[in-house]
Amino acid sequence: MRNWRWSLLGVHLILSGCVVGYGACLFQQPVKSTLTGHVHFRDYPTPEGLDNVPVLSLDQTAYVYAPAQSHLCMSANEVQLVGIAEFPKNVIENSHVSVDGALFQAASSREHTPFLMNVRTILPMPAAHEGPRSDSRSDANGTTIQQ
């Protein structure tokens, strides 16, 4: 019986920090992570007007360890991109990209998704992996705005 308890404890420790069926949780700063998805430029209302921010809509749900919120990992389907002054010319609305950087939790009213990524690099994915492109933008509700 004693070995059974140690085995159960070992399995618990191995799986802690993991989401069964998905894998390990991503850690926040200073650990670097790479995420893939489609870039959308969304408008969020602020007291000064509209805040236009780039948001990465992830290809698959990411699970991020957020000790300030829970001892469990939290899911993220969208991540606001920060720390990038100018996007490459070939990264436009709905571009399929790979983004490398450090994740952190939102802490102010100017941070519009639960998690943000301080971008180190952003690279477009090969054309074979891209979906249709458009010259449109999305607002905070996901409504498409034609330009």
Tens-digit pLDDT profile for residues 59-91: 998 888 887 777 778 888 999 999 887 888 888
Q: Which two tokens stand for residue 60?
A: 């698959």
Is residue 41 over pLDDT 50? yes
**CA proximity to 74, closest of 113, 127, 40:** 113
List the alpha helices (DSSP H) in the chain.
2-15
Domain range enclosing 49:
2-146
Cα–Cα distance between 143 and 137 in angstroms, integer?
8
The pair phi, psi for residue 12, each rounded to 5°, is: -60, -45
**Over the stretch 99-144, which tens digit does the pLDDT of each residue have?**
999 988 887 777 778 889 999 998 998 866 444 444 445 555 555 5
Number of domains within the chain: 1
Q: Specify the length of the chain in residues.
A: 147
The pair phi, psi for residue 106, each rounded to 5°, is: -65, 140
Strands 96-105 and 136-139: unpaired
What is the pLDDT at residue 39? 94
Q: Report which DSSP code applies to 86.
A: S
Q: How confident is the model at residue 96 (pLDDT cuts 50, 70, 90)?
A: very high
What is the pLDDT at residue 147? 45
